């Protein structure tokens, strides 16, 4: 951990990242790729099969319908939260690109944290 953090901790000045190229994929294409990635991820299926049935009463009239409703609610809430995170991270990225001094501070801080955690990990005693 200290080795990868070294360049960030010693950084003199950060060059701002280039803005996205004009041939960037559309938001619809990015959404479709993300949805396909989630649908093909077995961890998502395991989560739905292991977690959601706990909230369906054993004597429910339509347990399948209730599971679909819970899954839909979870998916919509996830879309809302991840959409907000994506929006605000894009806004933060644009803000940081215009402020190289702040970006340098972020790189130095994250590099110093990695070096510090690596040193702490190296000095840790096994029990």
73-97 confidence digits (pLDDT tens): 998 998 899 999 999 999 998 888 8
Dihedral over alpha carbons 106, 80, 77, 72 (to 10 degrees): -140
**pLDDT score, position 77:** 95
Residues in the chain: 127
**pLDDT score, position 8:** 58
**pLDDT score, position 20:** 58
The answer to whether 111 touches 5, Cβ cutoff 8 Å, is yes
φ, ψ dihedrals at 45, nearest 5°: -65, -45
% of the chain surpassing 90 pLDDT? 32
The answer to whether 5 touches 109, Cβ cutoff 8 Å, is no
% of the chain surpassing 70 pLDDT? 83
Query: Which tokens in the block code for residue 94?
Result: 């644009």
Q: Can you list the alpha helix ranges (DSSP code H) found in 10-98?
A: 27-39, 42-51, 63-97
The ranges assigned to domains in the chain are: 26-123
């Amino acid at each position: 951990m200290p080795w990868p953090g070294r360049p960030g901790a010693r950084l003199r000045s950060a060059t701002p990242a280039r803005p996205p190229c004009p041939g960037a994929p559309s938001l619809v294409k990015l959404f479709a790729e993300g949805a396909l990635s989630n649908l093909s991820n077995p961890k998502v299926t395991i989560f739905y099969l292991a977690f959601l049935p706990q909230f369906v009463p054993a004597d429910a009239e339509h347990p399948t319908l209730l599971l679909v409703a819970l899954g839909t609610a979870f998916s919509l809430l996830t879309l809302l939260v991840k959409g907000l995170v994506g929006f605000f991270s894009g806004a933060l990225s644009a803000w940081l690109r215009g402020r190289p001094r702040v970006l340098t501070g972020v790189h130095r801080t994250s590099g110093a944290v990695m070096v510090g955690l690596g040193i702490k990990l190296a000095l840790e005693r096994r029990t």
